[in-house]
Amino acid sequence: MARLELKDIRKSFGGTDVLRGIDLDVEDGEFMSLVGASGCGKSTLLRIISGLENADSGQILLDGRPVGDDPPSGRNVAMVFQDYALYPHMSVAQNMAMPLVMARLPIYARLPGGRLFTPHLRGSRADIALQVEKVAGQLRIDHLLSRRPAQLSGGQRQRVALGRALVRNPSLFLMDEPLSNLDAKLRVEVRKEIVELHRKSDLTFVYVTHDQTEAMTMSDRVALLRHGRLLQVAMPGSLYFDPATIDVARFIGSPEINLFPARRKDGTLSFAGVRLSLSGGPMGDSDLMVAIRPEALVVKGAAGVASSPLEGPQFSIGVTREAIEDLGAEIVIHGRIARMPDIALRIRAQKSLHHAGPVAVPAQFDVRASLSSLLFFGADGQRINGVTAGVAQKALAR
Amino acid sequence: MSLIQTASAPMAPLMTRAAQALKGLTPGKVLTFLVLLGGAWVVIFPYVWMISSSLKPTDEVYDADFTIWPKTFAGVQNYLDVLIEQPYPTFLLNSLIVCAGVLAVQLVTAIPAAYALAKLKFRGATILLGTVIACITIPINVTSIPLYLGLVRAGLLDTYFSMMFPFLVSVFAIFLFRQFFKSYPESIIEAARVDGFSEIEIVLRLIVPAAVPAVAAFSVFSFVAHWNDLYWPLIVVQSQDKMTASLSMMQYRSEFDINYGRTFAAATVVTIPMLIVFFFARRAFVRGITMSGVKG
């Protein structure tokens, strides 16, 4: 249990700036995910928190105590690695006992044969064994304690790695893409277990992943990194519905959010052949980006696709169909705007429950969307708040 | 083999087995076997010659027509001469002390050095590695005169220490282990650091257990090399009681007469411990030179 504060963490490797000033607070007991594309610095940041790497500048505080100069073992952090990093020639029990052995037994007792010369430490050894068994029981790996890592499946190794991290009762629990070596089904399962683990343990978790689904489903808050900077730190929901920048909007959500270059002139906004009136926000003529989530677009006239009712003023765009991905319960339609074929469009739609036959999307169709589901970004990529779109006098531009 | 068996015992199952064996025998395979057989003979023949000669009196060793089994059997006499009349147990023990001592210190110095070069980041690591590689190219003959002079100055000639001294640090071992350690998964070492291992314990508890094949391979190299070494003991050993096994064979050479039967018997006695060592370490040795690292 600990509160983690990062203050202006900077790091560069051979002239390449990997982290360019990270400020981040992780509350006690919080599950914080660090998300970003590969190379964004998220793993480096985690390694700096763990002490495996030193920051060039900046401060790391654990419960208000600066730990930047402490070695990893002095920070009481536990870390789970992507490839599990189990000690290959030790049994599961020995693997899990190691952090406690290192912390509680003096060095002469840890050497080979040290057991023989240190009968007075029998109590400590028994405590360690007990603790290992307890954690193994929690993770349901107590029947594997005598096995070697090579004899375990991926999921079992993952659990042993979690157990080894848990057994020491760390103040901070760090995970570096722990699920990426598991197959898809197991991943969902272990994901649930980690969330459960967090809920039960009240530990502070910092979880690195490139997979937004993991971050969105597991975390209390998500920190999105890009090029060594934090783009936004927010709860998963607000990251999705209320992105601060265009980069956040594009990274979060699959398929990717639809983006249209737009122009604001004399209070009228035109994009993708649509003209809307615009009020509020910074005045004057400017270039903007208009964004809309793929599921906010409602397909008209396609058999087998459910069309949810829209609220408030709406607009409509003509689309040319290109490809359809059938995901079972829903479909993703890739298309282009009929009148501006250089703009691609992604639509996610639920399948209709009442339609038996295959989904049929015509080659040309219309999509509608509520004006309230539009997001506006400035030319600099920052979100523009306080803008209200309305139906222009000329009505729908079609 | 199966062909000979078939000829001597013409039983039905053997016939069919032989027929099957013959069926798979293409001309290419026959050629392969012949080449391999020839190669094996080239390797084995010196040993056959050595053992055969060790059973012969000296004049028969010189005989023009070579027979594997001696016409006059002098084996008992030769081996008794070597094992009883000469202090061969002492010579073998000397060799053992020198080889084991050299190997122990080599491992103790090379393993930490190799770990540092393979896994630790420090200023000058590249230059140090370059130096290590460069040192491999320096033969003992270059350094032997200054070493000899130094040992004379220190009054250490004719001691076990002087016999081991030039070989205590093996740059070859450092390089070999460094290559082996390099492939050890970085994340396991990092997990160990998070778990509170000191660097020494990382080496002892994680790296060394994984490097057993490499250690075994190097041990065989080192042991055989120093067991067979004649050059350096010849320089620093003066007394009979410090003489190593290979050096001892020099003493059968005299200006007028060389007792070849006895020399070969001595050579056999000196060679056998090495054969035993290799047979025990063979598996690990082969693994050590053909693969490297561990799989996570």
| One domain for residues A295 and A265 | yes
| One domain for residues A88 and A228 | yes
Cβ-count burial B183-200 (b if 16+ within 10 Å, e if not): ebbebbbbbbbbbbbbbe
DSSP run (H or E) holding A340: strand A340-350
| A210 residue type, one letter | H
| One domain for residues B2 and B102 | no
- Lowest-confidence region among A48-52, A262-266, B120-124: A262-266
Range of the domain at B22: 1-40
Is 60 exceeded by the pLDDT of residue B1? no
- For the CA atoms of chain A, what is the radius of gyration? 26
| Chain A CB contacts of B201 below 8 Å | 102, 107, 110
Tokens of A191: 């994901």
* A396 within domain boundaries: no
Indicate which CATH number applies to the domain containing A116: 3.40.50.300
Task: Tell me the C-alpha distance between B192 and A73, whole Å.
Answer: 9
* A330 within domain boundaries: yes
* A186 within domain boundaries: yes
User: What average pLDDT score do residues B112-117 get?
Assistant: 95
| One domain for residues A73 and A11 | yes
**Axis crossing angle, helix A92-104 with helix A154-166, rounded to the nearest 10:** 20
Task: Tell me the C-alpha distance between A340 and B221, whole Å.
Answer: 74
Shortest distance between the Cα of A192 and any Cα of chain B, in A, equals 24
Task: Tell me the C-alpha distance between B129 and B127, whole Å.
Answer: 5
| One domain for residues A192 and A289 | no
Question: pLDDT tens digits, residue range A180-195?
Answer: 888 888 888 889 989 9
- Residues A77, B187: C-beta atoms closer than 8 Å: no
Nearest beta carbon to residue A78 from set B194, B201, B204: B194
Indicate which CATH number applies to the domain containing B142: 1.10.3720.10
- Lowest-confidence region among A161-165, B46-50, B78-82, B91-95: B78-82
Place B2 in a pLDDT band, splitting at 50, 70 and 90.
Answer: very low
| Chain B CB contacts of A206 below 8 Å | none
* B55 within domain boundaries: no
Task: Tell me the C-alpha distance between B166 and B174, whole Å.
Answer: 15
| One domain for residues B9 and B127 | no
| One domain for residues A98 and A225 | yes
Task: Tell me the C-alpha distance between B199 and A257, whole Å.
Answer: 49
Nearest beta carbon to residue B210 from set A47, A81, A89: A89
Residue B241: predicted pLDDT:
86
* B62 within domain boundaries: no
Tokens of A114: 């040290």
Residue A60: predicted pLDDT:
94
| One domain for residues A265 and A241 | no
| Chain B CB contacts of A89 below 8 Å | 209-210
Place A393 in a pLDDT band, splitting at 50, 70 and 90.
Answer: low
Does the beta carbon of A178 lie under 8 angstroms from any beta carbon of chain B? no
Could you say which DSSP state residue A206 is in?
E
* A200 within domain boundaries: yes
Question: How many residues belong to chain A?
Answer: 398
Confirm if A3 and A62 have CB atoms less than 8 A apart. Answer: yes
Place A106 in a pLDDT band, splitting at 50, 70 and 90.
Answer: confident
For B232-253, the three-class secondary structure string (H helix, E strand, C coil) is: HHHHHCCCHHHCCHHHHHHHHE
| One domain for residues B154 and B214 | yes
Q: In what order do the strands lie in the sheet with A221-226?
A: A77-80, A172-176, A204-209, A31-35, A221-226, A229-234
Question: pLDDT tens digits, residue range A317-373?
Answer: 999 999 999 888 889 999 999 888 888 999 999 888 777 777 888 899 999 999 989
| One domain for residues B10 and B140 | no
| Closest B-chain CA to A150 | B296
| One domain for residues A287 and A149 | no
Residue that is last in its domain, among A247, A280, A301: A247
Confirm if A31 and A216 have CB atoms less than 8 A apart. Answer: no
| One domain for residues B117 and B210 | yes
> Which of A262-266, A279-283, B162-166 is the most confident on average?
B162-166
Task: Tell me the C-alpha distance between A363 and A334, whole Å.
Answer: 11
* A89 within domain boundaries: yes
Is 60 exceeded by the pLDDT of residue B255? no
| One domain for residues A352 and A236 | no
Is 80 exceeded by the pLDDT of residue B289? no
Residue B14: predicted pLDDT:
64
Does the beta carbon of B211 lie under 8 angstroms from any beta carbon of chain A? no
* B13 within domain boundaries: yes
Number of domains into which chain B is organized: 2
| One domain for residues B128 and B205 | yes
| One domain for residues B151 and B263 | yes
Question: pLDDT tens digits, residue range B126-146?
Answer: 999 999 999 999 888 899 999
Residue A279: predicted pLDDT:
80
| One domain for residues A229 and A271 | no
Confirm if A135 and A96 have CB atoms less than 8 A apart. Answer: yes
| One domain for residues B92 and B29 | no
Shortest distance between the Cα of B30 and any Cα of chain A, in A, equals 42
Q: In what order do the strands lie in the sheet with A375-378?
A: A375-378, A286-292, A258-265, A268-271, A274-279, A388-391
Place B98 in a pLDDT band, splitting at 50, 70 and 90.
Answer: very high
User: What average pLDDT score do residues A270-275 get?
Assistant: 85
| Closest B-chain CA to A166 | B195
> Which of A232-236, B58-62, B77-81 is the most confident on average?
A232-236
Could you say which DSSP state residue A242 is in?
S
Does the beta carbon of A173 lie under 8 angstroms from any beta carbon of chain B? no
Shortest distance between the Cα of B31 and any Cα of chain A, in A, equals 42
* B94 within domain boundaries: yes
| One domain for residues B121 and B10 | no
User: What average pLDDT score do residues A287-314 get?
Assistant: 87
Percent of chain A with pLDDT over 70: 98
Range of the domain at A234: 4-247
| Closest B-chain CA to A70 | B194
- Residues A78, B187: C-beta atoms closer than 8 Å: no
The model's pTM: 0.79
- Residues A107, B204: C-beta atoms closer than 8 Å: no
Tokens of B39: 């190669």
Task: Tell me the C-alpha distance between B240 and B210, whole Å.
Answer: 42
| One domain for residues B35 and B159 | no
Average of per-residue pLDDT values in chain A: 89
Does the beta carbon of B204 lie under 8 angstroms from any beta carbon of chain A? yes
* B77 within domain boundaries: no
| One domain for residues A177 and A235 | yes
**Axis crossing angle, helix B212-228 with helix B171-182, rounded to the nearest 10:** 160
Percent of chain A with pLDDT over 90: 54
Task: Tell me the C-alpha distance between A73 and B197, whole Å.
Answer: 8
Residue that is last in its domain, among A247, A264, A298: A247
| One domain for residues A348 and A278 | yes
Is 60 exceeded by the pLDDT of residue B292? no
Residue B220: predicted pLDDT:
86
- Residues B191, A81: C-beta atoms closer than 8 Å: yes
Question: pLDDT tens digits, residue range B150-191?
Answer: 999 999 999 999 999 999 999 999 999 999 899 899 999 999
Confirm if A391 and A313 have CB atoms less than 8 A apart. Answer: yes
* A397 within domain boundaries: no
Does the beta carbon of B120 lie under 8 angstroms from any beta carbon of chain A? no
ipTM above 0.90, yes or no: no
Tokens of A334: 């890739």
Task: Tell me the C-alpha distance between A293 and A286, whole Å.
Answer: 23
Residue that is last in its domain, among B25, B40, B55: B40
| One domain for residues A241 and A264 | no
Confirm if A397 and A340 have CB atoms less than 8 A apart. Answer: no
| One domain for residues B135 and B268 | yes
* B48 within domain boundaries: no
Does the beta carbon of A48 lie under 8 angstroms from any beta carbon of chain B? no
Strands A31-35 and A221-226, bridge-based pairing: parallel
Indicate which CATH number applies to the domain containing A299: 2.40.50.140
Q: Residue A34: how many CB atoms within 10 A of its CB?
A: 30
Residue B56: predicted pLDDT:
86
User: What average pLDDT score do residues A246-275 get?
Assistant: 88
| One domain for residues B113 and B260 | yes
* A40 within domain boundaries: yes
* A398 within domain boundaries: no
* B198 within domain boundaries: yes
Does the beta carbon of B294 lie under 8 angstroms from any beta carbon of chain A? yes
Is 70 exceeded by the pLDDT of residue B285? yes
Number of domains into which chain A is organized: 2
Residue that is last in its domain, among A219, A247, A275: A247
* B245 within domain boundaries: yes
Residue A245: predicted pLDDT:
93
- Lowest-confidence region among A140-149, B81-90, B193-202: B81-90
| Closest A-chain CA to B201 | A111
